[in-house]
Amino acid sequence: MKVRLSGDDDDVRLVAELLTEHLPVVTADRVQVGEPSAPYPNRRDGGSRRYVEVYLLDDAVHVRAEPDDTADSPAALPAARARATGIKGRPGRGLGG
């Protein structure tokens, strides 16, 4: 599937990098992500957009982000890992920020 990311230039870049680097890890390589496209300026709004190809390799993709997940859990989403390790994201941008 093709995923479109649209918004602030830095946020779009960061989310594209996070998807590319972490989605395969948290899904035990059952989901793969292609290289993000180059940024394109948005036509009507400020910021930019990028496209990312996401490949589902099997039907059994189950991940969770529950408070008791630890940073060592392969099923923990980054937000759960951030909570478990105390990592803070940018204010208003998720990851417990």
Tracing tokens 């992500």 back to the chain, one arrives at 33
Q: Domain of residue 52: give its range.
A: 2-85
In a domain, 93, yes or no: no
Count H helices and E strands in the chain, helices first.
2, 4
Note whether residue 38 is domain-resident.
Answer: yes
Instruction: Compute the distance between CA of residue 16 and CA of residue 4 in angstroms, rounded to an integer.
Output: 10
- Provide the pLDDT for residue 90: 45
Low-confidence ranges of the chain (pLDDT < 50): 88-97
SS3 56: strand
How many domains, in total, are found in the chain?
A: 1
Q: Which tokens go with 2?
A: 């093709």
Asked if residue 7 belongs to a domain, the reply is yes
pLDDT of res. 49: 96
**What is the reported pLDDT for 96?**
41
Is 11 among the domain residues? yes
Residue 97 lies in a domain: no
How, if at all, do strands 48-56 and 40-41 pair? Answer: antiparallel
pTM: 0.59
